[in-house]
Amino acid sequence: MPHHDHRIEVFDAATGRYLGPATVADEASPEQITQVRTARAARSRRLRKDLAAAQRERYAAVTRPGKPERLDAVSTMEAAAELAVADRADLSRLALPDLIPPAAPPSDWRTPASLAARTRLQTSPAADDDEPGGGPEAGVTGDGDGAERGGMR
């Protein structure tokens, strides 16, 4: 049933025969569920408060028609505190894309030199290739469709 992730009905994929219900093997305790809900509610309140603060605009008082003047008085300490929070909230800066390089493709694949350099140690070029990645015709095999070694068309 949708929205009932505590129990599912299991069927055999090949025959479609009903096998019975299954329940979560490592379900959280009621105390843990309460803690998770409390943490989510606190985070929700913080986010709502931050959203309201970000949307709040203050304008100077006027006695006749004219262009509204925004009041942007912010102290140095307030600006520094807000910028520090913004820097910590930028999770993309914490990403380490080159921490674990991707696995090397199989040795019988033709790969561009740029990919070969990022995935494995440079080896001496083969006698028939100009570059470690297979030269300018990398990826072209046989009749040019790339299907000879399982390539994509």
pLDDT of residue 148 exceeding 60, the answer is no
pLDDT of residue 104 exceeding 50, the answer is yes
At residue 107 the predicted structure's pLDDT band, cuts being 50, 70 and 90, is: confident
Average pLDDT over residues 45-68: 88
**Helix (H/G/I), strand (E/B), else coil: 39:** helix
**Helix (H/G/I), strand (E/B), else coil: 22:** strand
CA distance 19 to 2: 19
Contacts of residue 131, defined as CB under 8 A and 6 or more positions apart, other chains included, come to: 113, 125, 138
pLDDT of residue 93 exceeding 70, the answer is no
pLDDT of residue 61 exceeding 60, the answer is yes
Q: Are 77 and 100 in contact (CB under 8 A)?
A: no
**Predicted pLDDT at 4:** 73
CA distance 104 to 122: 11
Task: Give the pLDDT confidence of 118-132 residue by residue, as tens digits.
Answer: 665 545 555 444 444
Q: Side chain identity at 6, as an amino acid letter?
A: H
Task: Give the pLDDT confidence of 1-36 residue by residue, as tens digits.
Answer: 677 777 888 999 999 999 998 888 888 899 999 999
**Predicted pLDDT at 15:** 93
